[in-house]
Structure formats: structure tokens, C-alpha cells
Structure 1
Amino acid sequence: MDPITVTLVAKDYGHLAPLAVGDVRAEGLDLRVDRDTRRAIDRTLRDPEVMLGESSISRHVARLAAGDRTWVGIPVFLMRGFRHRCFFVRADSPLAGFHDLVGKRIGTDNWMASGNTWSRAAMREQGVEPSQMRWVCGPVDGPPQDRPQGNLPGNASMAPADRNLLDMLLSGDLDALMCPDPPRGFYTAGSPVRRLFPDFRAVEEAYFQRTRLWPGIHITVIRRTLFEQHPQVAPAIHDALEASRQAWLGSRLALHETPWLLDDLEASRAQMGAEWGANGIDANAAMVAAFCQESYAQGLIPEPVEPDALFAEYAEAAKQ
């Protein structure tokens, strides 16, 4: 039987490299990787030609809550990340922690984005509720993103059409930013912006020790039309992507091209366990359950979504 040809549209993650260059192969598939860092999420969201792509876990949960079964989730977490690093203030700001944000004005790029959901979850873990501050949504330092914001709560509004959030922060119209990447000019000498938590690694390590969560932000999804025709594709993709991640990790342990990458890898293994970052349902059950709980608690979905629903059809296919 000829292999099934399918293309994965995803960002240019290092852990995809062994699969992209052919060092790892998917059983029964001619699996190609279209690494499109700038457009992968939007293409998966909008292009009906994309059969296998990268989706935010937030939008996957929202689709399930709305009864939209266009995509079938595969428990491969293409992007993960701690979020305390994603809060920024002016360099001269006295703000130094989540409790200092109570009553303040915070700008964020997209209300329902998975990363921002985890950022608000980190605040809630410390007893600070998003309802205790005012929010402004809009572009951080460039053109607006054409992505749905979701239903904004009563204490959130859109930024003026002629302003971006960085300018509003620097002019004093905002007190802080919550966004996935540092704003423009952050890495220049004398930057007017700093992180809320300058030693974000220590704060994030403490968060992990308390929660045992390494937040999953983006997952892999397969279009239902392909899944129903070839359900065996889903577990084959999972296995290939996990094998690619393992091969990537092994090469980094052997080569560790940056000065202290080896130390970082060994520290991650010591703190998070030998299987840190593993894909699959069981390895991520607690994290997925926490995200579903946060999505409902933060008002992103009208009714709770059971964690098992995210990958239920994949689980059935994997049993075959």
C-alpha cells in the first residue's frame, strides 16, 4: 500500500528538524514539514487546504465548547512555555510582582490566546484575579493581528485604532504589558522597558515546583475529513513527532552548541524529570485538565469542557 502523503504546517521548531530533514520517518506516511513560523497558526485557522497543522490549545478548547468538530486533536504539544517572563513594565516602574498589578491598567495582544490564558492562570495561582485590573487589547508594537479576541470581559476594551500598546505603556496610559514576546527595543542598551520579574527563571522554577505544570500552548491538529478517511494517520503522526523530539533532544545533549546549553538541559532534567516535555495523553493529563479549568474560570468558554474530550478521537484511533 502506498504511503499517505500529508504535510504538517508548523513553526520552525528545533524539535521538528529530525523529521523535516528525513532522519525520522512516520510509519505508513509520506510526512512533510512546511516550517512557516510567521503564518503557521493563521494558515491552520483559515486555509481549507491545510490537513495537518498547528493550533493553539485555547482555540481547540473553544471549538469543542462551540460544537465545532472541524479538527481532531493529537496530543503533541508543539509549543510550551512558562509565562512569568511575559509581563513587562517601564524601566522606572516600582511594580515588582503580580499583587502590584491590582487596580492597574494592563495591555495584552490577544485575550483568548493560549499563552495569555496561562499568564492569567499564573496570576490566579498567586491569588490575583484578572477582574482586579483593567485590560486593553491590541497590537503590541506593530500592525493589528487578524485573529479573534474572543468575548472580552467587562473590564477589558480594545486599544484605540491609532495606537499600539507599547506606546501606551511608555506614555503612561498603561502600567504593564502581558504579551508573548518582548516588545520592540527590549534588547537594546538602555531599554525603557523591563520585565516585571527580572529573574524570571527563579520565579518560573518556583511555579513549577508548586504546580508541576509546564504549560502547553500549541498542539497538533488533523482535519476531520482526513482523519475519518485515514484514522491511523493520527497515531502515526504522534509517534513520528515524539521520535523527532527525542532525536532532537539527544543531539542537543551530545552537541550543545551554545556555551551553557548542556547545563540548562541537565538542570531541566533534574528539576522536571527525565521525560520532561514528553507528548501523549497520560504525560500531559494534569496540564490539560488545568487548562480546561482555567478556560472556564476565566470566562473563555460558556460551559466546562472535559479534558478527555480534547484527544478522545485520537485515543480511539491509537487503540486500533
Structure 2
Amino acid sequence: MSKLSLSLAVNDYDHVRDLLDGRIAAQGIDLVPSVLPVEEIFYRTTHFQEWDLSEMSLAKYASLRSQGDDRLIGLPVFPSRVFRLSSLYVRDDAGVMSPADLRGKRIGVPEWAQTASVYSRGWLVHDQGVALADVEWVQGGVNQAGRREKVAVRVPDGVRYRPSPEKSLTAMLLDGDIDAILSARPPAPPAGREREIVRMLPDFETAERAYFERTGIFPIMHLIVMRRDVFTANRWIAGNLLKAFTQAKDASVARLEDITCSHFPLPWMSQRAAQARAMFGGDPWPYGIAPNRTTLDAFLRFAFEQGVCHRPMQADELFPPEVAAAVRV
């Protein structure tokens, strides 16, 4: 019996690679992968749904679903997760040294609906007491001018937000047109000016660990989505894909933990993996809905408060019932 051929667009991740090269297989499925930059995948998926399966921005996916666009349906597979307190950049001479210093300032974001920005704004509002209306928000490309929002957003009343397509955020920060950048992708200043832009929180790891201990939030950036027509015709693929992605991820974590030889060109990786297991209570990178509910619920709350989602949403709305719970025998 022939297997179902499905196209997949995804970035290059060690925890997905075993699935792409065939060392791990999704039962009944032949994957045809395209390994591409995430910005390209998100644009082509949002506008054209070119692949059967694709990596997708959590914010853009949730926004589309909140607006009644159900052409895509999610899998609780999260290839990218990043704490984002590292993503605030300022000029080294600006005197902006803490979140409180951002009140009354101008912050540049690549898109209002960038997932990283949703989490960081949620941290500013709920953890640091800096309201959205305390800041003027400027939207533009980080290192190239002309970037635009990919989904419709409803910026809350009283919040100052304006697109600025003429210059990149990096150029605006260097020229003093804005006071900070909040972005997943770092600014890339021209040669000779690299030291003029610094992180607002240089010791971000300590701050991020403390944030996780307070909130239980381990930010999810991306998920895997399926075209709904493909899923509707083959509902069995959801569970099989979730199982295969999980096996590939578990194999990657096992490589991290292997002290026999170095699978990654950095020292102490096995020790870092053990520390992560201790911090996160077992699986340091869980897939599925239940172990990620705290993070998903917080994200959806932030997204609605910020106008990225057009209505309140629950985590279970993002995924089909076939992946709602693990099968136990």
C-alpha cells in the first residue's frame, strides 16, 4: 500500500532533522521537505498555504483563527521556543537600563503580530507594570525597510502605533528616531557601529529563569500547522505526525545528553541538558497540549489584550481533538 505524500516547510532544527532525513518516519506518510528561513515560510503559508504542513508563527496562526480563517489547523509540535527578555535592544548611550526607563519612549517592532513581541509586551505589562499606552510603538523591518504586517491586527484604543516603512528599525535606533527595538531577529548595525546597540538586559538568562519560576511560562514561538483540506481528508495523520515529531525531538535531546562523544560543537552540553531537565521537571521541550497549557493560555491572553487575536481564545481551539490527549495502554 502506498504512503501519503505530504510536503513540509520547516527551518533547520536538530530536533526535526531525523524526520527529514528518514531516520525516523511518520507511519503511512512520505514527507517532502523544504528547509527555508522562517520569515519566508510564514509569508508563503499565511498568504498562499503552499505546503501540506508548515512551520508557522504562533501569533499569526492564532490571529487568523480568531478572525474565522480556518484554512490551517495546528499540531501541538513546537519547533521553536525562546525566552525573549534577550530581545530588547537599546543604544549604549541612551540611558535606558531597565523596563521602567521605557515609559514615554518609542519602541520599534518588526510586526505587532510577531510572536516574540507578544510575549515581551505581555512581560512588560504583567510583570513590569509598563502599560502598552506608556510607549509609542513603531513598526518596520529590523534590518531592511518596508516590512509590513502579515495579518490584520486591532491595536487597542489609546495605544500609539504607526508603521514606518521608510527606514529599518536599526537605522532608526542609530539615528535616534526610536529608543529601543523589540525583535526576535537582532539588529545588524553597519560595520564600525556594532557596539552602539546593546541588549537592555545583558544578564538576560538570569532574568528569564526567574520569570519562568514566577510564571511557569516557557514561550512557544512556532508550531506546525496542516492545511485543513489535507487534514480533513486524512484525519489519521495528526496523531501519526505528532508521534513522529516527538520521536525526532526525543532523539535530539538524547544526543544532547550523550557524554560519550560530542554531538554539538560546544562544551558541557550534557550538563546543560541535565540542568534543563531539572528546571522544567522532566522533558525540557514538551510537545502536546496539556504540558504546555500554562504557556498557551498566557500567550492567548496576551494576544487578545494586544489586539493580535480578535476574540478571546482557548488553547484547545488551536488543535484537532485527535491530538488532545495521549493514548495510554
Q: TM-score, normalised by structure 1?
A: 0.93
Structure 2 CA distance for aligned equivalents of residues 237 and 79 of structure 1: 17
Deviation at 1:52, TM superposition (A): 0.6
Q: What secondary structure is seen at the aligned counterpart in 1 of 2:154?
A: coil
Structure 1 CA distance for aligned equivalents of residues 319 and 232 of structure 2: 14
1:264 and 2:266 are equivalent in the alignment: no
1:74 and 1:314 in contact (8 A); partners too: no
Decide which of 122, 128, 131 is 1:129's aligned counterpart.
Answer: 131
Task: Tell me the alpha carbon deviations over residues 263-310 of structure 1, each in whole angstroms, 9 at most, x when there is no partner.
Answer: 322221221222111100111111111111111111222321122111
Task: Tell me the alpha carbon deviations over residues 201-258 of structure 1, each in whole angstroms, 9 at most, x when there is no partner.
Answer: 1111111111111111111111111111100011111111111011111112223431
Q: Equivalent residue for 2:29? A: 29
Structure 2 CA distance for aligned equivalents of residues 308 and 248 of structure 1: 27
| Cα-Cα RMSD | 2.1
Query: Identity, % of aligned pairs?
Result: 30
Deviation at 1:23, TM superposition (A): 1.3
Structure 1 CA distance for aligned equivalents of residues 299 and 23 of structure 2: 33
2:10 and 2:34 in contact (8 A); partners too: yes
Greater shift, 272-281 or 310-319, is seen at: 310-319
1:151 and 2:154 are equivalent in the alignment: yes
Map 1:1-320 onto structure 2 (within 5 A). 1-37=1-37, 39-124=40-125, 125-148=127-150, 150-153=153-156, 154-159=159-164, 161-185=165-189, 191-254=195-258, 255=262, 256-315=264-323
Deviation at 1:317, TM superposition (A): 10
Task: Tell me the alpha carbon deviations over residues 45-67 of structure 1, each in whole angstroms, 9 at most, x when there is no partner.
Answer: 23343111111111221122111
Q: What secondary structure is seen at the aligned counterpart in 2 of 1:78?
A: coil
Structure 2 CA distance for aligned equivalents of residues 75 and 182 of structure 1: 27
The answer for unaligned runs of 5 or more in structure 2 is none
2:88 and 2:182 in contact (8 A); partners too: yes
Deviation at 1:316, TM superposition (A): 6.7
The answer for unaligned runs of 5 or more in structure 1 is none
In the superposition, relative to structure 1, how do residues 210 and 232 fare at CA in structure 2: closer, same or farther (>3 Å)?
same
Structure 1 CA distance for aligned equivalents of residues 192 and 33 of structure 2: 34
2:80 and 2:223 in contact (8 A); partners too: yes
Structure 2 CA distance for aligned equivalents of residues 308 and 48 of structure 1: 22
Structure 1 CA distance for aligned equivalents of residues 2 and 53 of structure 2: 19
Structure 1 CA distance for aligned equivalents of residues 294 and 90 of structure 2: 32
In the superposition, relative to structure 1, how do residues 29 and 183 fare at CA in structure 2: closer, same or farther (>3 Å)?
same
Which one-letter code corresponds to 2:154 in the other structure?
Answer: N
Structure 2 CA distance for aligned equivalents of residues 114 and 146 of structure 1: 15
Structure 2 CA distance for aligned equivalents of residues 3 and 232 of structure 1: 13
1:78 and 1:219 in contact (8 A); partners too: yes
1:186 and 1:192 in contact (8 A); partners too: no
Task: Tell me the alpha carbon deviations over residues 120-166 of structure 1, each in whole angstroms, 9 at most, x when there is no partner.
Answer: 1111222222221111100112143354263344401011x332211
Q: What secondary structure is seen at the aligned counterpart in 2 of 1:77?
A: coil
Aligned residues: 318
Task: Tell me the alpha carbon deviations over residues 170-228 of structure 1, each in whole angstroms, 9 at most, x when there is no partner.
Answer: 12121111011221149988611100000111111111111111111111111111111
1:186 and 1:194 in contact (8 A); partners too: no
